[in-house]
Structure 1
Amino acid sequence: MLPMHRAISTAAVCLALGAHAGAQTDQTISVRHLQEPGTDMRNSHYVSNRPPLEPSRLIKLPIGSIRPQGWLAHQLRLQADGFHGHLMEISPFLDTQGNAWLDPKGRGERGWEEVPYWLKGYLNCAYVLNDEQMIAEAHRWIEGALNSQQDDGWFGPDEGRTGLATKLRGRDDLWPNMIMLYCLMDYHDVTRDERVITLMQRYFRYLEKLPEDKFLVGYWPKIRAGDQLAAIHWLFNRTGEDWLLPLAEKTHRHTARWDEGLIDWHNVNIAQAFREPTQWWVQSHDDAHRRGAERNWTQIRQMYGQVPGGMFGADENCRPGYDDPHQAVETCGLVEEMLSDEILLGLTGDMVWADRCEDVAFNMLPAAFTADMGALRYLTAPNQPVSDAENHSPGIQNGGPMFLMSPHRHRCCQHNAGHGWPYYAQHLWYATPDNGLAAVLYSASTVTARVGKDTEVTIEQQTRYPFGDTVRFNVRLAAPAKFPLYFRIPAWCDDPGVRINGQVVKENAQPGQLLRVERQWADDDRVELTLPMQVRVRTWEANHGSVSVDRGPLTYALDIGENYRRYEDAGAQNKELTDAQVAELNRTWPAYEILPAGAWNFGLLPEEPIRVEERGAVAEGSPWTPDASPIVLWAKARKIPQWKVDQHGLVGALQDSPAFTEEPVETVRLIPMGAARIRISAFPVAGSDSSATTWTEPKQTFRKQFNVSASHTHETDTATAAADSIVPEHSGDRVISRHTFWPNKGTLEWVQASFDKPRRVRSVSVYWFDDAGDGFCRVPASWTLSYREGDTWHRVATTDEFGVYKDQFNTVTFEPVYSDALRLEVQLQDEFSAGVLEWKVE
């Protein structure tokens, strides 16, 4: 059940505080603790929700108001200097030659999501860093979008636009424009360029006129239309034009029914779209819609997120039975979750979204990149003791090198992951309805904003957070001014402390609340917030009684030791590069496998004391490395010999705790989860008495019927899947591994079974892959079967039909042959590819 959204303490606590030297000698102070800011006022300095929308609980400050310092500023600089800041040199999708996003008529290539995905992060990183060179490059692409508007209001790539993961074409696909609207809104926030307002007004008039059957058609637009809803409300709050609200209702009505629950299992869709009901609550005022985001967030974690790190297992999609901590989530999913939390924090004022945002930002996001942000991986898991280029499907859903740290692949994440840290930096502070400021995500920074009756204040925040427990604020004012400051009390903090100019402020703020302090502030006033961090062991009862170790907002992982091995991966997405270009990209932008340097199969002894080692100040560089972490923990543990890598190359699934072991007790080093790119963070409990469970070693291999090869296999699939003895549930089964000929369409292909020695065969059964509804694979147009005799292939003799039916084995019986190889010759349908899920030979 959600907490009530009301003030807990309605009576102000009035104190008289002696001021520091140079300030007034007496101050009256009002202190309250709240669940959320009140809404009886509307901020008079910054744009917030206007009636009839729900009042904004927290208001995002203009970009540039907040300047990060310390490790966060360094992280943003690493991003700018890393692969994302140089993606124009790496990604073929950002080639300016013939790029549809730069063409005034929207003609050309590469007109789908990749450009706006990249620009969203690149633009905001440039703004937060105030990097003039980056800003100029970003504005070139913004100008392309602004100059592309057509007479009827459409903007961006036009007829012929398509993408790798969609079957929509041209204007039917509204999804890429939703992303570009974010870029344009952020650009307007900085420049106040009225062309953005005009473009959005004309574009939304275009959408207003679209017939119902042409509005938000297709998978991605319908699933993610909460982003369009946000843009409509953004424009309404700036223009007050009433016609926008029916368009917002039309958008919600055509959006996938997230207001009814989880209606899709794709990890990025969930992280991005679970919030849509609460976005709609702003207009509907229906409390059930307000609760919708919380319900969706809770449901997915109950089913697939009983793990540390704040996310859930969906290594493309959530799959029944795949809920172990070795299941992973996309880097896209991480940054979209953070943005959703930041948006919901503003809409609801509920501090739970700040806690959840920090959980992902600190414990998952740093580890999705190399420490220098020169590469990223597609998938990151709470338990991941290897990060290599191997195919781990179907243990994880996607085939291919999903764990490889590479700047050259992982297309969607490669472009989209850049908005995580810039947006985080922009949401450290919010304005409040009563013309105050709220510090909600703690990090060294300065904020400059209008407060009170129209006074400019600058507040410097000094802290080692999330490694240290003290946050100091120094107020800078030209003249004294009265206004409120709010401070978030994290959900994990039981005993916060506040001092103003050295004097204790007593107010019984509870975890998860806001502390509101209103007074006449003067130049050089100082606030010290103490958030004591205790080491706690969290038990995941629903995941075999495994445990994780927390200190404050950080979860800690086993320091396994990391061995980096360079991997040549340039050209993975760009097949037009010359050998010389590939060699140069491999030299300047290397990819890496990360292999374990030590044992990882430890069970914790959580009843034993855990020692905290404080290693000094946060270094100038990134603290998200095993050696640079300012805090490490030392715990007692014992190895569990049966806990090994499984047949898919993943850490074996957890079994019930306590796990029986007779191995000696060892002291192990735990480091912040975000600093561990290979890690164990969900531990079994080690036990040695009769109540402990003796674990079973995971299977090391699947039963392969024969060797399989094919004329072509997509890089994320495997031909071996056709002979792994795993029977699919249906032709669209995405839980198991598969073979496909993708992206080949309409071609003649083959799949071959090779036996160790000749055998007598008389029938084959083939189960075709078909992802109708959201993909381009279909059962083939036709197929035949041949057997090898010497160096010659012969067709089998049969009167049976060569079936092309979905959701079943297609069996052909023929006159027996004696051969060492069989070959399926497969004619693909025009405009479609095909694949094989399973092939039986008898």
Structure 2
Amino acid sequence: MLFSHLRVVVAGALAALGDATLAPKKYHTIPLGKIRPAGWLKDQLQVQTDGLAGHEHEFYKWVNDTDWVGGTAAYSYLEEVYAPTLEVRVNFTPQNAMVPNAILAESPVLKQKTWEFLEYVLDTQDETGWLGPEVGTDKRRELWGRYPFFFGSIQMVEFYPELTERVVDALHRFVVLANKMLKAGKLSARLGTDMWAETRFEDFIVTLQWLYDNHPRGQEDLLIDTMIESKWSGIKWELVFSEEFFPKVEAEKLENPFPELSWHGVNMAEGLKALPAIYRFTHNQSDLDVASKGWDMLFQYHGRPSGAFAADEYLAGLEAVRGTELCLVVEAMFSASYLYQVTGDPKYADQAERMAYNALPATLTGNMWGRQYLQQQNQVASKNMTPNPFPEDGPYSNVFGLEPNYPCCTVDFPQGWPKFITHAFLVTSDSKSLVHLYLGPFSTSVVLADDNLVTANVETLYPFGDTLTTTITATKPFTYFVRIPSWITKGTVSLNGGPPVAVQPVKGLHAVSVDAGKTTLVLDLPGDIRLESRPHGSIAVHRGVLNYAFDIPRIEKQLSVHPAEPRAVDLEFTPADAWQYAIDPSTIAYSNNPPASGILPSPIYDAGLPPVTLSVSACPIDWPLDGDMFAAPPPENPTCVGSWRNITLWPFGAAKLRISEFPVATMPKYEFVAQHGVDEV
């Protein structure tokens, strides 16, 4: 009753405005293809394309050639598989991930596949405006399956302007129908929505806002009305993320006052962008305030040193062996980018960068032919677990393979790197300035206000190095902004060979006045070693954006191989050596051994390959397994049971078996002297 009353009040207030408009975003995105990866990041994208992401269409049952030619794959696995049983929830179309992957990797084959699929869907739109293969059947129409397709279509238009009229025509026809369906749903069995659509309505709102901002065609009132209807068809994220209702412990320990999928990890990762999207048509600061507070609570009570948060289906608290879904990682990265665009709060960009350089590569094999469904912060084996540590997911969930547990992550993960790249630069709302948001090797070319053509090329090994050299050319003077992460305390910048001066970020951005012509900007961003307190008195270790872990030597066993693709294998990893160590954090030392060629190994995110490491003194301790092969909680105040030694910590993303939340012990002075010399005591 309360929700119904609130809905009428808010919708009525908005309708009364008559000329309701969208609040502007702080920053605008740059069209797909205008930002390109360089250096090691370009290689990383190529590794992804040479792996599963570039070959799924050849053999994978949800994305194979037959279904792409027939145009049915994206919808069949959305609706024919998950809807009847909810036992298999493949919840994204390949188009959403394959489009940016194809364009940024410059893959002719993938470009052709995405084009064929778009053509098919547009060609089969029926007279009512509906998009989908169930046209002409009595199948119940579901809105949600279209939203990822819309994201893919928008990206296609950005890169292929010649598609604009066809895509925009189709979307506007669909909006008219969707508005009717959403309104009819108030009087019927929620026509067009289901339990998943109720949590993911924000994806449709973002699509509607793209139309409003770029191609409104005089339909502004209808578009905003459809945003309102879509918002009220779904979960009340303003309550889910509120202080009163947010779950501060593992979900299974509480009774959810909302529909159960509101605490589902991937839904929450997508739902993070709901309130900023709603803010744009409500203009209510409270929407942004709740989004900010909800974000903070999510990472306070469920956050991971890797930058992600824990949810093995549902929110999973802070224990190091609970899981984080791969879909969650890439969707949270996308939501963080959107939150930054709307609000300009640097905490969202910091978190997205942490996830990209830690959590995302950690859950993929180096060659990206295998992925996990769930990753663990302390992961001492990747195998069929007995007993199962994941309350809602299967014991096979942390195996590296084609589709352990559920297939969704196989088709969804390829959006991670491409969308991170696409949002690495932004333009200010007045279009006068360029913002380098995500640090790494990139290049971009963009026309700013007053026909100011600007290019920027960033050469760097970051995050495997501290220096970024940016060459900027511009036809007119302008202000260039570069994000300085919150973990940087001693950063410097030099301009055109001048002396380095301390960076002075405001709201996370350091401003540089750039003249017409060529400008060279050198940033030096050395990271401090930081310790993060974790449960049971354990600690996580960071330097700069990277989380560090003990990379456990592993034994690999092939569990299965796909009959049509020998590279698509399921792999079991078990430890080949001891992993039960406590560390003395006072002994941590950083080492950077960049390659003489300046070219990092490929793939960079695999055992022993990153050039940056930490060494630390450690001693063996009693640390039991809890079940077949997952670590018990880190022992508090452990006793050393062997001699002290140095161990090496590697970037988290390169360690597929790892300890990254460490018990702590204090190294005796005589041991320190023996290892480090008397002058260092």
**Contact 1:660–1:688, Cα closer than 8 Å, also in 2:** no
Hey, what does 1:463 align to over in structure 2?
Answer: 460
Deviation for aligned residue 1:688: 8.4
Hey, what does 1:667 align to over in structure 2?
Answer: 646
Letter in 1 for 2:420: Y
Structure number with higher strand proportion = 1
Hey, what does 1:334 align to over in structure 2?
Answer: 329
Closer/same/farther in 2, CA of residues 465 and 613 from structure 1, 3 Å limit: closer
Closer/same/farther in 2, CA of residues 610 and 507 from structure 1, 3 Å limit: closer
Tell me, what secondary structure is at the counterpart of 1:135?
A: helix
What is the CA–CA distance in structure 2 between the aligned matches of 1:414 and 1:108, rounded to whole Å?
13
Closer/same/farther in 2, CA of residues 118 and 103 from structure 1, 3 Å limit: closer
What is the CA–CA distance in structure 2 between the aligned matches of 1:170 and 1:179, rounded to whole Å?
20
Deviation for aligned residue 1:61: 0.3
Closer/same/farther in 2, CA of residues 323 and 160 from structure 1, 3 Å limit: farther
Q: Deviations over 1:562-618 (max 9, x none)?
A: 222222143xxxxxxxxxxx2x53x33222112212211111111224242434345
**Contact 1:157–1:170, Cα closer than 8 Å, also in 2:** no
Deviation for aligned residue 1:274: 2.3
Hey, what does 1:539 align to over in structure 2?
Answer: 533
Tell me, what secondary structure is at the counterpart of 2:450?
A: coil
Letter in 2 for 1:649: M
Deviation for aligned residue 1:160: 9.7
What is the CA–CA distance in structure 2 between the aligned matches of 1:687 and 1:495, rounded to whole Å?
29
Hey, what does 1:209 align to over in structure 2?
Answer: 180
What is the CA–CA distance in structure 1 between the aligned matches of 2:144 and 2:438, rounded to whole Å?
30
**Contact 2:428–2:435, Cα closer than 8 Å, also in 1:** yes
**Contact 2:403–2:409, Cα closer than 8 Å, also in 1:** no
Pairing 1:697-776 to 2, within 5 Å after superposition: none
What is the CA–CA distance in structure 2 between the aligned matches of 1:400 and 1:647, rounded to whole Å?
12
Tell me whether 412-421 or 232-241 shows the greater mean CA deviation: 232-241
Letter in 2 for 1:466: P
Hey, what does 2:148 align to over in structure 1?
Answer: 179
What is the CA–CA distance in structure 1 between the aligned matches of 2:552 and 2:76, rounded to whole Å?
51
What is the CA–CA distance in structure 2 between the aligned matches of 1:234 and 1:221, rounded to whole Å?
19
Tell me, what secondary structure is at the counterpart of 1:281?
A: helix
Hey, what does 2:106 align to over in structure 1?
Answer: 130
Closer/same/farther in 2, CA of residues 296 and 392 from structure 1, 3 Å limit: farther
What is the CA–CA distance in structure 2 between the aligned matches of 1:265 and 1:308, rounded to whole Å?
21
Pairing 1:69-84 to 2, within 5 Å after superposition: 69-84=38-53
Hey, what does 1:757 align to over in structure 2?
Answer: none
* Correspondent of 2:625 among 645, 648, 657: 645
* Correspondent of 2:493 among 492, 498, 509: 498
Hey, what does 1:63 align to over in structure 2?
Answer: 32
Tell me whether 53-62 or 645-654 shows the greater mean CA deviation: 645-654
Hey, what does 1:610 align to over in structure 2?
Answer: 589
What is the CA–CA distance in structure 2 between the aligned matches of 1:400 and 1:244, rounded to whole Å?
45
Q: Deviations over 1:83-105 (max 9, x none)?
A: 1211123321224546797269x
What is the CA–CA distance in structure 1 between the aligned matches of 2:91 and 2:313, rounded to whole Å?
22
Letter in 1 for 2:522: E
Pairing 1:322-471 to 2, within 5 Å after superposition: 323-409=318-404, 410-434=406-430, 435-471=432-468
Deviation for aligned residue 1:239: 2.6
What is the CA–CA distance in structure 2 between the aligned matches of 1:500 and 1:142, rounded to whole Å?
46
**Contact 2:79–2:145, Cα closer than 8 Å, also in 1:** no
TM-score by length of 2: 0.85
Q: Deviations over 1:439-462 (max 9, x none)?
A: 011111211111241122221110
**Contact 2:22–2:281, Cα closer than 8 Å, also in 1:** yes
Letter in 1 for 2:437: V
Deviation for aligned residue 1:433: 2.1
Deviation for aligned residue 1:622: 2.2
* Correspondent of 1:284 among 282, 285, 288: 282
Deviation for aligned residue 1:504: 3.9
Closer/same/farther in 2, CA of residues 385 and 151 from structure 1, 3 Å limit: same
Hey, what does 1:737 align to over in structure 2?
Answer: none
Deviation for aligned residue 1:395: 4.3
What is the CA–CA distance in structure 1 between the aligned matches of 2:537 and 2:156, rounded to whole Å?
48
Tell me, what secondary structure is at the counterpart of 1:142?
A: helix
What is the CA–CA distance in structure 2 between the aligned matches of 1:199 and 1:461, rounded to whole Å?
38
What is the CA–CA distance in structure 1 between the aligned matches of 2:329 and 2:78, rounded to whole Å?
29
Closer/same/farther in 2, CA of residues 483 and 109 from structure 1, 3 Å limit: closer
* Correspondent of 2:541 among 526, 549, 554: 549
Tell me, what secondary structure is at the counterpart of 1:660?
A: coil
The gaps in structure 1 that reach 5 residues or longer are: 1-49, 162-168, 571-581, 690-842
What is the CA–CA distance in structure 2 between the aligned matches of 1:185 and 1:137, rounded to whole Å?
16
What is the CA–CA distance in structure 2 between the aligned matches of 1:385 and 1:344, rounded to whole Å?
35
Pairing 1:137-152 to 2, within 5 Å after superposition: 137-152=113-128
Is it true that 1:303 corresponds to 2:311 in the alignment? no
Tell me, what secondary structure is at the counterpart of 1:158?
A: coil
Pairing 1:20-35 to 2, within 5 Å after superposition: none
Q: How many residues align?
A: 610
Deviation for aligned residue 1:507: 6.4
Q: Deviations over 1:770-828 (max 9, x none)?
A: xxxxxxxxxxxxxxxxxxxxxxxxxxxxxxxxxxxxxxxxxxxxxxxxxxxxxxxxxxx
Higher RCO, Cα 8 Å, sep 6+: 2
Matched-pair identity in %: 25
Closer/same/farther in 2, CA of residues 217 and 323 from structure 1, 3 Å limit: same
Closer/same/farther in 2, CA of residues 511 and 482 from structure 1, 3 Å limit: closer
Deviation for aligned residue 1:171: 4.0
**Contact 1:278–1:293, Cα closer than 8 Å, also in 2:** yes
What is the CA–CA distance in structure 2 between the aligned matches of 1:109 and 1:212, rounded to whole Å?
21
Q: Deviations over 1:456-501 (max 9, x none)?
A: 2221110110111111111234xx4111110101000012211110
Deviation for aligned residue 1:124: 0.9
* Correspondent of 2:171 among 176, 200, 221: 200
Hey, what does 1:763 align to over in structure 2?
Answer: none
What is the CA–CA distance in structure 2 between the aligned matches of 1:222 and 1:531, rounded to whole Å?
43
Q: Deviations over 1:494-540 (max 9, x none)?
A: 122111101247566248611122342313x1011111212222223
* Correspondent of 2:577 among 557, 580, 598: 598
**Contact 2:561–2:568, Cα closer than 8 Å, also in 1:** no
Closer/same/farther in 2, CA of residues 519 and 103 from structure 1, 3 Å limit: closer
Tell me, what secondary structure is at the counterpart of 1:384?
A: coil
What is the CA–CA distance in structure 1 between the aligned matches of 2:569 and 2:390, rounded to whole Å?
27
What is the CA–CA distance in structure 2 between the aligned matches of 1:288 and 1:249, rounded to whole Å?
17
What is the CA–CA distance in structure 2 between the aligned matches of 1:236 and 1:103, rounded to whole Å?
29
**Contact 1:490–1:511, Cα closer than 8 Å, also in 2:** no
Closer/same/farther in 2, CA of residues 182 and 98 from structure 1, 3 Å limit: closer
Pairing 1:106-125 to 2, within 5 Å after superposition: 117-125=93-101
Closer/same/farther in 2, CA of residues 440 and 51 from structure 1, 3 Å limit: farther
**Contact 1:492–1:511, Cα closer than 8 Å, also in 2:** no
Pairing 1:85-96 to 2, within 5 Å after superposition: 85-96=54-65
The gaps in structure 2 that reach 5 residues or longer are: 1-18, 82-88, 242-257, 669-681
Moved over 6 A (4+): 98-101, 106-110
Higher alpha-carbon Rg: 1
Letter in 1 for 2:127: D
Hey, what does 1:38 align to over in structure 2?
Answer: none
Q: Deviations over 1:622-651 (max 9, x none)?
A: 22112210101110111221x121125311
What is the CA–CA distance in structure 2 between the aligned matches of 1:159 and 1:102, rounded to whole Å?
13
TM-score by length of 1: 0.69
Deviation for aligned residue 1:286: 1.0
